[in-house]
Structure 1
Amino acid sequence: MDGFVSRRSAPITLLTLLAVHSARAILVETRCFKELGCFPPGFPYSGTAQRPFPDAPASPQEMNIQLYLQTPENPEQSQILDPYIPSSIKNTHFSTKRPTIMIFHGMADFAYRSWVYTMCKEIIFVKNCNCIGVDWSKGAGDFYTYIQSANNVRVVGAYAAYLIQQILKCIDPTYDPCNYHLIGHSLGAHAAAETGKRIRPCVGKITGLDAARPYFKDTPAEVCLDPSDACVVMAIHTDTSFLGVGIKEPIGHYDIYPNGGDHMPGCPDPIKDIPLSIPGLINTTRYFVGCNHYRARYYMLESIRNCSGFLAFPCESYASFLNGNCFPCPHSGCAYLGFCNGTSCNCTNNGTIQRRVFYLRTGREISRFASWMYKLTVVTQVTHTNLGSMYISLYSAQGNVTQEPIKSHRLLGSSSTDTIFININFEMINITPATFSWSSSPVKINGMEAGAKKISIQQGVDGHIYFCP
């Protein structure tokens, strides 16, 4: 599991990490590894308020870094790539005729037969590409070795970058680095960043899935995920609360905050769900931290086959987004969380891309996180004034239905126009007529009638409006 709390530990804090680590950081020398180069322990990797103690990363051999290749020719059975042995690349199904995805796991995690393997299979299902899972599980450690793991990402990223360089040198010198899309979760986001820093002019894209906060927040650009690391850098933030372990601040060209970025639907509430007992507190905190932190992976995975359900809107704040102030998508466009964003790679424009922040809402259940936002406007006519509720049932051509409250236990007047923003778990394509219903309470008035004179439904992606009737 890629969490920041071990099976035995309390919530992680930087102070705790430093206490565990300080005894080891007495005298640290620069380490050099073959073609990967040297890794000095000094500034900016130490000697700062965020990283006071120096440390050296482990070697590729100590971490047993493995690169597992899946392609349309071998979606189930991975092949191993070794950048030190070019023939190991030539003798696989790796092809420079298609783009390449590289996926990096985080702390206390692994790539083989894990979510990394599953994500590669899903990507290959929708796209003809090479997909490489970067396994550094022996260097990914746990809570007690977190700082060592954080330093190890430098070598992990360098190892992956060396593979890219070897492909250019030994396989196909015309294979453009823009063909690479790097995806990393937690510490893996910073490992992907390290790869991007070493490839020039740039790799095509990096997607950071809730990039790790401890030991990376407020560090120089050389240390953490940064917009300069790829032609396009997208960061997805899902665990940014005080107890969370993901970076809250924008760190990419496109920073996406599902559900505001701190508490994901379906995860325990940090206030309501924390029990009074110490064991219960530890267990709940472990689940709370892990749940929000892992959601970035789940959202990314589901978006591969269902990208239209993860449309994110540029907005100045989550509160403004919830109020509908940023709906529909502006002329500058929205962004899709996850895999399906189409981006043209132009490394010379890297510094000129407008950095923007996006928001969206998701569902609560695994495999049903996709959610579509609509603006619903209803003009109603009521014959008598009374307390009551009004509902609209929407039907799609695919047979899906949802009932949305327009007014709940409110005063129903003679006529009114009401606008609400709804999120539903299916896309309304070829919308069939909507159904209006109402109920009055607590007193029934004989002869009272209510109806909808007009219903309009606006979709977010292009602002198109459907009218009924």
Structure 2
Amino acid sequence: SFCVCVLPAAQECEEMTDLDLKHSLSGTSLSVRLLLYTRVNVSCAQLLSHREPFRNPRFNLSSPSTFLIHGYRPTGSPPVWLTQFVQLLLQRRDMNVIVVDWNRGATNINYWKVVDNTRKVAANLTDLIQKMKEKGADLGSIHMIGVSLGAHISGFTGANFKGSIGRITALDPAGPEFNGQPPSERLDPSDAQFVEALHTDMDALGYRDVLGHIDYYANGGADQPGCPRTIFSVLIFFKCTNPKLLNCIVLFLDEQKIFFFFLNIKNLTGPKLLNGSVDIITWNQKTHWGYLTIKLSDGQEEAQVELNHKSLMFERFVESSVLAQFDRDVQPVKEISLKFCTGKGLRPSKKLRLLRIRLTPLQNHLSGPLCRYDLLLEENKEVTFRPIPCEDSNF
């Protein structure tokens, strides 16, 4: 818990730049404003000067600093999630939260003009962080949270300090103009000591491949429940999903060393999901790459997961492990169906020879890990089997 101090009535509070569609149609020139929030002024932003940031008495260099950077704004309106996100961050820790308001520059129907501005925003932030460094601030205590294009702005800024910034979190990182680009032209793991990415719209305007030390794919990383499949889906991601999502993300941000994390957006309002680890050992002579579809059945209902956001490597006698999120929880599991594909339809079909497959539920279940031994998967052909409790062995 913490004390929220109420500022005097005479204290002027700054707000995020509010524009509309007419500004987007005519285009806006870049202008960057830095809005400072602390536990003393949780709901009353103070303008932080680029030239003389330390004249603001609320800016405490001994505290960690978190930069919150929005992305493309074709409608011009402030992000609906901004206020609550700031409040939740300050509930978790005493820090400087700096909202990077570049709405003038991000509001433009011409997406490519906005992309051009990302480097300029990064240069602006680089100048501020350099001043902080010269005053003795620990770059390792800086956390940059970038949404959409803000993710790459964070990366460009971090690259200017050769990866010495503590942490970058990319939320729904932008894809167009960045997909397929070399690391110097986008966010990449060398931009901070720890880089993580949460992918939520990779089949539309989001970035599909890995960007960080750890990449998470919420609900598989494609369209989220309740979100329209249009150009605006990336813009209203926080709006079209359950409000508890922000709490999930802030809890996610708390766990710097997390390796097993599932963002169950569907689970906030819908059926219970099943999270589990799938471990496979093959005995093919040659290494194969491919994708898996896994179905679980209790005899009446089915749960399914498609492990297709990146190609899996299957090397002889080397265990391949992947975290899977099934679309529902079925118990007890009486049958498992597997389908293997390489995604390369013009090449000869492959066969995947499984020495063992093991499914381990990560929630508290009465049954332990389930296994099947010595199984042959022909490409694009579904195989169904009855699992058995795993044997106690090294395999």
- Aligned residue for 2:253, secondary structure, equals coil
The yes-or-no answer on 1:247 pairing with 2:207 is yes
The yes-or-no answer on 1:362 pairing with 2:264 is yes
Q: 1:63 aligns with which of 24, 30, 37?
A: 30
**Alpha-carbon distance between aligned partners in 1 of 2:84 and 2:361, rounded to the nearest angstrom:** 34
Judge conservation of contact 2:64–2:95 (CA < 8 Å) in 1: yes
Judge conservation of contact 2:360–2:368 (CA < 8 Å) in 1: no
Larger radius of gyration: 1
| Residue 422 of structure 1, CA deviation | 8.4
1:457 to 1:123, Cα distance in 2 relative to 1, 3 A: farther
Judge conservation of contact 2:163–2:190 (CA < 8 Å) in 1: no
Q: 1:107 aligns with which of 69, 72, 75?
A: 72
Superposed CA offset, 1:435-459 (max 9, x none): xxxxxxxxxxxxxxxxxxxx3479x
Superposed CA offset, 1:237-294 (max 9, x none): 11111xx0101011111111111111323335x6xxxxxxxxxxxxxx3465555587
| Residue 225 of structure 1, CA deviation | 0.7
Judge conservation of contact 2:242–2:269 (CA < 8 Å) in 1: no
TM-score (norm 2): 0.59
What pairs with 1:22-101 in structure 2 (closer than 5 Å)? 62-86=29-53, 89-101=54-66
What pairs with 1:150-299 in structure 2 (closer than 5 Å)? 150-169=115-134, 172-173=135-136, 175-200=137-162, 202-241=164-203, 244-267=204-227, 285-286=230-231, 288=233, 290=235
AA matched with 1:362: N
Judge conservation of contact 1:263–1:292 (CA < 8 Å) in 2: no
| Residue 124 of structure 1, CA deviation | 0.2
Superposed CA offset, 1:345-403 (max 9, x none): xxxxxxxxxxx9x77351337x659977567xxxxxxxxxxx9879xxxxxxxxxxxx9
Stretches (4+) displaced over 4 A: 109-114, 286-300, 367-375, 387-390, 407-410, 419-423
Corresponding residue for residue 121 of structure 1: 87
**Alpha-carbon distance between aligned partners in 1 of 2:104 and 2:125, rounded to the nearest angstrom:** 16
1:299 to 1:237, Cα distance in 2 relative to 1, 3 A: farther
Superposed CA offset, 1:29-83 (max 9, x none): xxxxxxxxxxxxxxxxxxxxxxxxxxxxx9xxx4221000111111010111112
1:369 to 1:7, Cα distance in 2 relative to 1, 3 A: farther
AA matched with 2:42: P
1:295 to 1:207, Cα distance in 2 relative to 1, 3 A: farther
**Alpha-carbon distance between aligned partners in 1 of 2:330 and 2:102, rounded to the nearest angstrom:** 50
| Residue 406 of structure 1, CA deviation | 2.9
Judge conservation of contact 2:201–2:222 (CA < 8 Å) in 1: yes
The yes-or-no answer on 1:341 pairing with 2:243 is no
| Residue 204 of structure 1, CA deviation | 0.4
Corresponding residue for residue 30 of structure 1: none
What pairs with 1:261-410 in structure 2 (closer than 5 Å)? 261-267=221-227, 285-286=230-231, 288=233, 290=235, 301-304=246-249, 307=251, 338-343=252-257, 360=262, 362-364=264-266, 373=274, 406=331
**Alpha-carbon distance between aligned partners in 2 of 1:133 and 1:297, rounded to the nearest angstrom:** 23
Superposed CA offset, 1:117-151 (max 9, x none): 321111001111110100000100233x2111001
1:117 to 1:161, Cα distance in 2 relative to 1, 3 A: farther
**Alpha-carbon distance between aligned partners in 1 of 2:78 and 2:86, rounded to the nearest angstrom:** 11
**Alpha-carbon distance between aligned partners in 1 of 2:79 and 2:176, rounded to the nearest angstrom:** 27
Structure 2: gaps of 5 or more residues: 1-19, 277-297, 302-327, 336-358, 370-395
Judge conservation of contact 1:67–1:132 (CA < 8 Å) in 2: yes
TM-score (norm 1): 0.51
| Residue 408 of structure 1, CA deviation | 10
Corresponding residue for residue 140 of structure 1: 106
**Alpha-carbon distance between aligned partners in 1 of 2:235 and 2:225, rounded to the nearest angstrom:** 13
- Aligned residue for 2:57, secondary structure, equals coil
Judge conservation of contact 2:242–2:265 (CA < 8 Å) in 1: no
Higher-helix-fraction structure = 1
| Residue 114 of structure 1, CA deviation | 4.3
| Residue 92 of structure 1, CA deviation | 3.0
**Alpha-carbon distance between aligned partners in 2 of 1:237 and 1:201, rounded to the nearest angstrom:** 22
**Alpha-carbon distance between aligned partners in 1 of 2:87 and 2:181, rounded to the nearest angstrom:** 35
- Percent identity over the alignment is 28
